[in-house]
Amino acid sequence: METLELLRLLRDKLLSRYERLLEEYRDPLFELRGGSVDLESLSGVSFLYFTASWCAPCISFMDVVRVLARRYAGKANFYRVNVDENMDLVDSLHVDYIPAFIAVVRGEVVDRVYGVVGRGKLEDFIRRVLESYG
């Protein structure tokens, strides 16, 4: 095999691996920003994760949320909501504590979980919502 051909083969393999890694480490949470978020515009089953950059429990729980968002991608949409940037939504949904994880179906809040609840309990919550509404 010629050197140029070997280099092309190596390039193709590296690009393929790079694309897989990008997909694997891509943040699975969409960011909800802006003053007025219309819950009616969220399609299907959506989960909103209310968090803040200064909230240590929120930060520690983020990895669990990301893992589950990847696992249930395609079955539900997952959104991160920064409470400092979305006070209107925080007030309208009566989010009293963070971290908060709220399930929305066809624009209506159907259930919620507050605090760092652990992976198993959060996954049970997601499954229950998907079985009931998905």
- For residues 80 and 23, what is the distance between their CA atoms, to the nearest angstrom? 18
Cis previous bond, 99, omega within 30: yes
Which sequence positions are flagged as catalytic?
A: 55, 58
E strand spans, the chain? 30-32, 45-51, 77-82, 100-105, 108-114
Are 79 and 38 in contact by the 8 Å Cβ rule? The answer is no
DSSP secondary structure string, 57-73?
Answer: HHHHHHHHHHHHHHHTB
Q: Could you tell me if 60 and 29 are in contact, meaning their C-beta atoms sit under 8 angstroms apart? A: no
Closest CA to 67 of 78, 56, 57: 78
